[in-house]
Amino acid sequence: AIAVHIIFLWLDHYISFSWLQLLVPFTSSYSNHVATFGVILGSIGVALGVLAMYAVALMVLSSLGWINTRQGIWRKLHYLGYFVLPAVFVHALATGSDLKYGTFRTVWLLIGFMLVLIILTRLWRARTLSRD
């Protein structure tokens, strides 16, 4: 899905991206000119999408190669999921044309709030966060 997303962005002529901008974080200056809490996050959103792509690739590749042989490293790499989720959330919010305003943006923000609650609950249940 990530590869298809990148290929279609590269083929899209409405907003032109080079391969460098699609594969290297902080090389794109794209912005949909919408502020989130007063801050325009367009280029940061693109960079977070690129970083999340590499984090997902690391998690998938480690699952294919190290799940049985290097479980400690594999387990630690999967903590990247706690970075990927908010990075993809901000990426969509800051760069997506569907989430510029209106109902979809409100629903997306509510989903984000619920995800924060779910993550905090998971961290608390796994005893990562202190119960004191």
- Residues 13-65 have pLDDT tens digits of 777 788 888 889 888 877 777 666 766 667 788 899 999 999 999 888 888 87
pLDDT digits (tens, 9 = 90+) for 83-123: 898 898 888 888 877 777 788 888 989 999 998 898 888 88
Backbone angles phi, psi at 39, to 5 degrees: -120, 130
CA–CA distance, 29 with 2 (Å, rounded to integer): 20
* Integer Cα distance of 24 and 13 in angstroms: 20
CA torsion angle 41 19 15 87 (round to 10) = -30
Q: Which two tokens stand for residue 132?
A: 């004191």
Q: How far from chain centre, in Å, is Cα 70?
A: 26
